[in-house]
Chain A
Amino acid sequence: MYTISNRLKTFSIILIVLGVLGVAYGFMTSHKSLEEVKTMLADDGHGESHEASTETHVVAGGENHADNTDEATADVDQTAHDDKHAAHVQEQLAKRPWSAMYVAAFFFMMIALGVLAFYAINVAAQSGWSPLLNRVMEGISAYLLPGAIIVVAIAVGSHYIGHHNEIFIWMNPEVVADDKLIQNKSSYLNIPWFLIRAAIFIAGWVAYRHFARKFSIAQDTAEPGDKSNFKKAFRIAAGFLVFFIYTESIMSWDWIMSVDPHWFSTLFGWYVLAGMLVSGVTVIAMVTIFLKSLGHLPLVNDSHIHDLAKYMFGFSVLWTYLWFSQFMLIWYANIPEEVTYFVTRIEDYNLPFFGMLVLNFLFPLLILMNSDYKRIPWFVMMCGVLILVGHYVDIFVMIMPATVGDQWFIGIPEIGSILLFGGLFLLVVFSSLAKAPLTVKNNPFLKESEHFHY
């Protein structure tokens, strides 16, 4: 029986406190008056680039209206334009702490969901190697309920709390009023329906998690030869996987893709799924290595680590394949309504956008290709850290361009949010791990898993 150590508890509470401070700092500094934003823009040298664009504006005006060369009109135009620009930047700044929280909250929720899906796959496939890790996977997926509720709360909270700082612009009635495209989608993209869908997803996932855990623990105390709980767990896993693949896809449209309500991509759900699975498996590997180093998983051998590392490697490549398929199709066809998505990302987020490819593809590919390295715990840990950072950046690059645009930075609000939800994640996961023995009993595949050798 594992008990959460006081050091780990204190550590995660410190993370949460630091995170709350960081998030509070983010909110305190994000609400600037229009005047402050104007001075900021002038100081940043944004004014210069703006003058340049105003010049071309005047030239264009001169061509269109040959008699209109009045300097005064151009000045008025410029002031109006500057005001509009400053108001836009003001909104982006106000959205930053919300988006920072949202990215971090989604990132940790996604890990728990990815672990739950991976767990269901292993149960449904009756894999012989994984039963020793079942409790680790069940423990990590305990974060799903609080995590998913937090994600939805932040999404909707950004609309109801504060003014003009929605993460999802389709929640802002003023934006929708001027926007034919969003109006046409408003039968899908409206807050009540968004909440109903979210409730269905969360209820379904959490119900599966609840019953899977229940049957798994019931199997521990079952009479020898009684496999009824194992069979029930198998059936609901198969059912959940069907439910999951639909809801995961819809969830990715709702919770991520609709930050850009003018843009759409068909393989987006798969792409999010691949990122989810790779971060989930990575966290399983890291928690397993951590618990094993404390001596709590004596039966887990280096072949189990090797298998997890293989999954990390394989899913990293799958993620890259889907990232590239989405990017290359849109880049190649270059249809204006689709390509703006990548134009803003390449122009304003060049380093994170391409940097995450190095973290999520190149490093795992080169580090985890060698079979011997996949058995070395610190190697897997190191690669795991790179993969998790990479997938945080992946979510960051999905959300931020639509909310804060070029005003992004990974500073106190972002790091504070990571600490806040990271601390919460550790606390929930390790408390849940402490609630049941870390090794399952009476699982028909347990013997095979104990002797698993690759």
Chain B
Amino acid sequence: MEESSKVIHAIYTDDDVLMAAVKKVRAERYHIEEIYTPFPVHGLDKAMGLAPTRLAITAFIYGVIGLAVATVMMNYIMIEDWPQNIGGKPSFSYIESMPAFVPIMFELTVFFAAHLMVITFYLRSKLWPFKEAENPDVRTTDDHFLMEISAGHNIDEQFDILRNTGAVEVTLIDKAH
């Protein structure tokens, strides 16, 4: 297992070069562990073959939950628990006074969808305050792009391929340390 803890870091200075490199490396059937970029590179996820996000689906489900919470809450409070006559609004059934509840139903739907989706995003991407940054090279937050490939048996060949793709720096890193 010693060999699998070794990775190769290839550093690029241009996102177009990076995109071409990703395609080349994937064509050579090497596994890309991770790519670090200072900004979103359009189409990088497609080039890497990453699965599409399901965050929007979770947001829809959270919205439905929010709508249900609003409906059940107001139905209990305004209709079942204490159906007062407030300014002549009909409180005999939920549907009769629903127009007055719609603003709250809408807001809670949005509230649940937005906040729970953001929290889901934080959990799935493991982000929280005081989290230790996982940055392999500080330059990747500024103007460099870094591709991390797991080192195989033929490291020299991998180095050659990466240099040919336009990498400005190629280094072998032992992650075990």
Residues in A lying within 8 Å of B, measured CB to CB:
324, 327-328, 331-332, 334, 369, 371
Min CB distance, A342 to chain B, in Å? 10
Min CB distance, A194 to chain B, in Å? 34
The answer to the question of B100 belonging to the interface, with a C-beta cut-off of 8 Å to chain A, is yes
Verify B102–A328 contact, CB threshold 8 A. Answer: yes
Residues in B lying within 8 Å of A, measured CB to CB:
56, 60, 88, 99-100, 102
Residues of B near A327 (CB, < 8 A) are 99
Question: Residue on A with the closest CB to B103?
Answer: A328
Instruction: Select which of A328, A369, A371 is within 8 A of B99 by beta carbon.
Output: A328
Verify B102–A369 contact, CB threshold 8 A. Answer: no
Verify A369–B60 contact, CB threshold 8 A. Answer: yes
Residues of B near A369 (CB, < 8 A) are 60
Min CB distance, B95 to chain A, in Å? 11
Min CB distance, A217 to chain B, in Å? 35
12 CB-based A-B contacts, threshold 8 Å: A324-B99, A324-B102, A327-B99, A328-B99, A328-B100, A328-B102, A331-B99, A332-B99, A332-B100, A334-B88, A369-B60, A371-B56
Min CB distance, A67 to chain B, in Å? 38
Residues of A near B60 (CB, < 8 A) are 369
Min CB distance, B33 to chain A, in Å? 29
Docked complex Cα distance between A335 and B97 (Å)? 16
Min CB distance, B148 to chain A, in Å? 29
Docked complex Cα distance between A331 and B100 (Å)? 9
**Contact count A vs B, C-beta below 8 Å:** 12
Q: Which 6 A-B pairs have the closest CB atoms?
A: A328-B99, A331-B99, A332-B100, A324-B102, A332-B99, A328-B102
State the majority secondary structure of interface residues on A. helix
Question: Residue on B with the closest CB to A372?
Answer: B52
Question: Residue on B with the closest CB to A369?
Answer: B60
Question: Residue on A with the closest CB to B99?
Answer: A328
Docked complex Cα distance between A331 and B99 (Å)? 8
Docked complex Cα distance between A371 and B99 (Å)? 30
Min CB distance, A374 to chain B, in Å? 13
Min CB distance, B42 to chain A, in Å? 10
Residues of B near A324 (CB, < 8 A) are 99, 102
Given contacts A332-B100, A334-B88, 6 further A-B contacts (CB under 8 A): A324-B99, A328-B100, A331-B99, A332-B99, A369-B60, A371-B56
Residues of B near A334 (CB, < 8 A) are 88
Docked complex Cα distance between A150 and B52 (Å)? 51
Docked complex Cα distance between A452 and B171 (Å)? 39
Question: Residue on A with the closest CB to B63?
Answer: A369
Min CB distance, A364 to chain B, in Å? 15
Docked complex Cα distance between A324 and B106 (Å)? 12
Residues of A near B99 (CB, < 8 A) are 324, 327-328, 331-332
Docked complex Cα distance between A327 and B99 (Å)? 8
Min CB distance, A145 to chain B, in Å? 40
Min CB distance, B23 to chain A, in Å? 18
Question: Residue on B with the closest CB to A331?
Answer: B99
Min CB distance, B109 to chain A, in Å? 11
Docked complex Cα distance between A334 and B60 (Å)? 35
Docked complex Cα distance between A298 and B131 (Å)? 51
Min CB distance, B81 to chain A, in Å? 22
Residues of B near A331 (CB, < 8 A) are 99
Residues of A near B88 (CB, < 8 A) are 334
Docked complex Cα distance between A324 and B105 (Å)? 13
Min CB distance, B31 to chain A, in Å? 28
Min CB distance, A402 to chain B, in Å? 23
Docked complex Cα distance between A332 and B88 (Å)? 10
Docked complex Cα distance between A189 and B60 (Å)? 48
Docked complex Cα distance between A123 and B102 (Å)? 37
Min CB distance, A196 to chain B, in Å? 39
Docked complex Cα distance between A371 and B53 (Å)? 12
Min CB distance, A432 to chain B, in Å? 38
Min CB distance, B51 to chain A, in Å? 14
Question: Residue on B with the closest CB to A371?
Answer: B56
Min CB distance, A185 to chain B, in Å? 29
Residues of B near A371 (CB, < 8 A) are 56
Residues of B near A328 (CB, < 8 A) are 99-100, 102
Docked complex Cα distance between A328 and B88 (Å)? 15
Min CB distance, B56 to chain A, in Å? 7
Question: Residue on B with the closest CB to A321?
Answer: B106
Docked complex Cα distance between A327 and B103 (Å)? 13
Question: Residue on B with the closest CB to A366?
Answer: B60
Min CB distance, B168 to chain A, in Å? 30
Docked complex Cα distance between A328 and B101 (Å)? 10
Min CB distance, A318 to chain B, in Å? 14
Min CB distance, B175 to chain A, in Å? 37
Question: Residue on B with the closest CB to A324?
Answer: B102
Residues of A near B102 (CB, < 8 A) are 324, 328
Min CB distance, B94 to chain A, in Å? 15
Min CB distance, A1 to chain B, in Å? 36
Docked complex Cα distance between A169 and B24 (Å)? 75
Docked complex Cα distance between A331 and B102 (Å)? 13
Docked complex Cα distance between A100 and B100 (Å)? 34
Min CB distance, A215 to chain B, in Å? 34
Docked complex Cα distance between A94 and B88 (Å)? 39
Residues of A near B56 (CB, < 8 A) are 371
Docked complex Cα distance between A334 and B96 (Å)? 14
Docked complex Cα distance between A371 and B88 (Å)? 44
Residues of B near A332 (CB, < 8 A) are 99-100
Min CB distance, A18 to chain B, in Å? 40
Docked complex Cα distance between A55 and B56 (Å)? 62
Min CB distance, A338 to chain B, in Å? 14
Min CB distance, A375 to chain B, in Å? 14
